[in-house]
């Protein structure tokens, strides 16, 4: 069984280099176009999926809605697939975080798996809730599925599957509306 992890389309905060995290941002015009192009690509490549699951954040839901409409496959919003909550850092650029929160950023950079930004969550907390949500999906279906989610979720899942330290997650960087195929059975806990 496969999961096709899809990062949502582009938002204005992506363009502006702002940290989105749990902030609920909509797709911009380019993001809507990317979601439509993604739908076309998935159909052309004949991906064999029976259901689409989406993070509840608007940027993911909008991507899932377009994909659902274009493929005639239902989508379902699933709690737990949200982007990491980066607390007080959301809305800032990474440079602004380094300048405004130098000690917290340094601690987080050295151990982001367990260190939380102010009023945020750690990557370990995020991966725990994501794995719980994905395991609920695994109990619901035995067929391939699309999971519309977020960059940090996809990078962390790849770290988890490859036993890569979370500090090296950027080697799995994903672009907007990219597709990452994984063996869903490896996520079963």
Bind-site residues for substrate: 7-14, 59
Going from the C-alpha of 161 to that of each of 48, 95, 102, 137, the distances in angstroms are 22, 30, 31, 18
Instruction: Give, to the nearest 10 degrees, the angle between helix 29-44 and helix 58-71.
Output: 40
In the annotation, is 8 catalytic?
yes
Contact indicator for 175, 33 with CB cutoff of 8 Å: no
Question: In this structure, what token pair is assigned to residue 47?
Answer: 């991906």
Integer Cα distance of 112 and 116 in angstroms: 7
Binding residues: 7-14, 59
Residue with tokens 């907390």: 125
Question: In this structure, what token pair is assigned to residue 184?
Answer: 């869903």
Q: What's the alpha-carbon Rg for the chain, to the nearest Å?
A: 16
In the annotation, is 83 catalytic?
yes
Catalytic residue among 83, 90, 104, 121: 83
- Positions annotated as catalytic residues are 8, 83
């Amino acid at each position: 069984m496969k999961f096709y992890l899809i990062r949502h389309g582009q938002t204005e905060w992506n363009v502006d280099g702002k940290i989105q995290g749990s902030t609920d941002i909509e797709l911009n015009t380019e993001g809507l176009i990317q979601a439509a192009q993604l739908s076309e690509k998935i159909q052309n490549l004949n991906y064999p999926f029976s259901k689409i699951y989406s993070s509840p954040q608007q940027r993911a839901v909008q991507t899932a809605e377009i994909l659902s409409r274009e493929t005639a496959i239902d989508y379902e919003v699933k709690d737990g697939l949200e982007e990491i909550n980066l607390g007080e850092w959301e809305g800032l650029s990474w440079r602004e975080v380094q300048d405004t929160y130098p000690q917290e950023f340094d601690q987080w950079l050295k151990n982001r798996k367990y260190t939380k930004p102010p009023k945020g969550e750690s990557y370990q907390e995020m991966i725990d809730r994501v794995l719980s949500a994905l395991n609920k999906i695994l109990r619901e279906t035995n067929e391939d599925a699309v999971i519309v989610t977020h960059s940090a979720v996809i990078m962390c899942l790849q770290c988890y599957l490859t036993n890569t330290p979370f500090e090296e997650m950027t080697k799995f960087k994903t672009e907007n509306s990219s597709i990452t195929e994984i063996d869903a059975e490896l996520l079963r806990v």
